[in-house]
Amino acid sequence: MADGGKKKAVGLPLPLMQGLHGEFYRHCAAGRLSFQRCSDCGRWRHVPREICPACSSWNWSWEQSSGRGTVFTYTITERSMHPAFAERCPYAVVVVEMEEGVRLLSRVVDCPPSELEIGAGVTVDFLSLESPAAGADDRQGEQAPGQEEIVLPVFRLA
């Protein structure tokens, strides 16, 4: 980065707490990892969709996941591609395949990136981020509206 040492704090990109995405994250804030499940064909789905791609049903409910899954794939990012993550490098971005069959992009918080292995068992945990209101001056308009606490689903080795 050719910033010439001029450091400008860049806020962590946060989910906007809107629509079905917001509902997903509100379940996380309540300590539950939940996914949509079709009431007609029984299919679990993630990311949230308004209708079931398998049977076109509008009927669904949020159902709590067992929270257990395995590492499906990952990448270890060593060179920063976004200033908000520069200080975390190297960090691993991990795709977890849940017992219910859906996959979720997340991270494994208690495992050094170099020790990650595909197939490793993991269980969900929750990471509360600072309130978007705090330090909002430094952000570039990425913060969620309001004062809502944002909780990300993360994983620990099982």
Partner 1 sequence: MKDKACIVGVGATGFCRGEGSGKSLHGLQLEAALAALADAGLRAGQVDGIMPFPNLGTAEGFAASLGCENLRFATTVNMGGAAPVASLGVAAAAVSSGLADYVLMPAGWNGYSGSRAGAIVQEMTASIPGGAIARDFYLPHGLVAPPQWYALIARRHMHEYGTTAEQLGAVALAMRKHAQLNPAAVMHGKSMTMEQYLASPMITDPYRLFDCCLETDGAAACVVTTTERARDLARPPVYISGVASAQPYPADEITGREDIFRTGLTVAAPRAFEMAGVKPADADFAQVYDCFTFEVVQQLEEAGFCARGEGGAFVQEGRIELGGELPVNTHGGLLSEAHVLGMGHVVEAVRQLRGEAAGRQVADASLGVVTGWGDFGDGSIAVLRN
Interface ranges with partner 1 (CB under 8 A)? 10, 12-16, 18, 21, 25, 46-47, 53, 72-79, 81-85, 88, 90-91, 93-95, 102-107, 118, 142, 152
**Spatial separation of the C-alpha atoms in residues 5 and 107, rounded to whole Å:** 30
Rounded to the nearest whole angstrom, what is the least distance from the CB of residue 40 to Zn ion in the complex?
Answer: 5
For the chain, the maximum distance between any two Cα atoms, rounded to a whole number of angstroms, is 58
For residues 25 and 101, give the distance between their C-alpha atoms in angstroms, rounded to a whole number: 19
Question: To the nearest whole angstrom, how small is the minimum distance from the Cβ of residue 70 to partner 1?
Answer: 12
Choosing among Zn ion, partner 1, none, which partner's interface includes residue 3 (Cβ < 5 to 8 Å by kind)? none
Picked from Zn ion, partner 1, none, the partner binding residue 57 (CB below 5 to 8 A depending on kind) is Zn ion
55: partner contacted, choices partner 1, Zn ion, none (Cβ within 5-8 A by kind): Zn ion
Write down the least CB distance from residue 56 to partner 1, Å: 15
Closest CA to 63 of 39, 88, 29, 89: 39
Q: Where are the beta strands (DSSP E) in 33-136?
A: 34-38, 44-45, 60-64, 68-77, 91-98, 103-106, 121-129
* Stretch binding Zn ion (CB under 5 A), from 16-24, 56-64, 71-79, 108-116: 56-64
Token pair 């292995």 is found at 117
